[in-house]
């Protein structure tokens, strides 16, 4: 596969992960910054999938190029799945990544059940009528204190099952190999292969 996709995100960490995960699969990713496109679509969806679609569609309408977007977040069992789709906005305005992490740890202070997972919904708008969607997950536990400086967001407090390290203590490649975004993007690559194969045979 030799294809080029616009990545509909302003998050430099996500762009980096998209490039590292999809590059070896034959998909070149170009960021909004590289294309000098400004787009901040309002996330009005009720699910990760709906928000990923909103973001991908908004950028596709601006550039008419195949576009891929992610909507993701951390879902905590003891909090009935919160922050979920509100992960980037947890606590409201005035919080940065570190503040949101602290707030989550505070809200989890008395909880023994630390189970949590990340979800990533990927939406790929190929043309006016063709949309591919996938989801990926990684399951684990919340720590009691932040550990590590790699990654972004809630990585310092997320301990994936079966690893003795938070995703912020892992190297990028190790995180991508097991992450929600890695799993969803590898699923997308499979769907794209099938789609282009079927298209070539028509």
Contact flag: residue 72 with ligand IMP (CB under 6 A): yes
The sign of the torsion formed by the CA atoms of 47, 135, 55, 140 equals positive
Query: Residue 30: CB partners within 8 Å, gap ≥ 6?
Result: 4, 5, 6, 7
Closest distance of CB 196 from ligand IMP, Å: 27
155 in contact with ligand IMP (CB under 6 A):
yes
Binding ligand IMP by CB under 6 A: which of 3, 11, 41, 47?
Answer: 11
**96 an active-site residue?**
no
The smaller minimum CB distance to ligand IMP, of residues 69 and 126, is found at: 69
Q: Which residue from 49, 66, 73, 160 is in contact with ligand IMP, where contact means CB under 6 A?
A: 73
- Is 140 a binder of ligand IMP (CB under 6 A)? no
Measured from the CB of residue 80, what is the shortest distance to ligand IMP in angstroms?
A: 17
CA distance 77 to 23: 34
169 binds ligand IMP (CB under 6 A): no
| Cα within 13 Å of Cα(154), Cβ side | 34
Instruction: State the catalytic residue, choosing from 70, 71, 80, 161.
Output: 71
> How far is Cα 160 from Cα 32, in angstroms, rounded to an integer?
30
Half-sphere CA count of 41, side-chain side, radius 13 A: 23
Site string for ligand IMP, 20-59 (x = CB under 6 A): -----------------------x----------------
Strand partners, 67: 6, 125
CA distance linking residue 22 with residue 185, whole number of Å = 7
Q: Could you give the residue numbers annotated as active site?
A: 71
């Amino acid at each position: 596969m030799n294809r080029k996709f616009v990545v509909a995100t302003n998050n430099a960490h996500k762009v980096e992960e998209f490039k590292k995960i999809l590059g070896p699969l034959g998909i070149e990713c170009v960021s909004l910054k590289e294309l000098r496109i400004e787009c901040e679509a309002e996330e009005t969806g009720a699910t990760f999938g709906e928000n990923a679609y909103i973001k991908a569609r908004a950028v596709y309408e601006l550039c008419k190029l195949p576009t891929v977007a992610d909507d993701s977040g951390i879902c905590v069992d003891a909090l009935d799945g919160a922050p979920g789709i509100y992960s980037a906005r947890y606590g409201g305005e005035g919080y940065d990544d570190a503040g949101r992490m602290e707030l989550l740890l505070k809200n989890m202070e008395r909880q023994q059940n630390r189970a949590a997972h990340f979800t990533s919904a990927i939406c790929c708008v190929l043309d006016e009528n063709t949309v591919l969607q996938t989801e990926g997950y990684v399951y684990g536990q919340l720590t009691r204190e932040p550990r590590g400086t790699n990654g972004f967001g809630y990585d310092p407090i997320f301990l994936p099952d079966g690893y003795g390290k938070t995703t912020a203590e892992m190297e990028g490649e190790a995180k991508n190999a097991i992450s929600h975004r890695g799993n969803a993007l590898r699923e997308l690559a499979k769907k794209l292969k099938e789609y282009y194969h079927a298209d070539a045979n028509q």
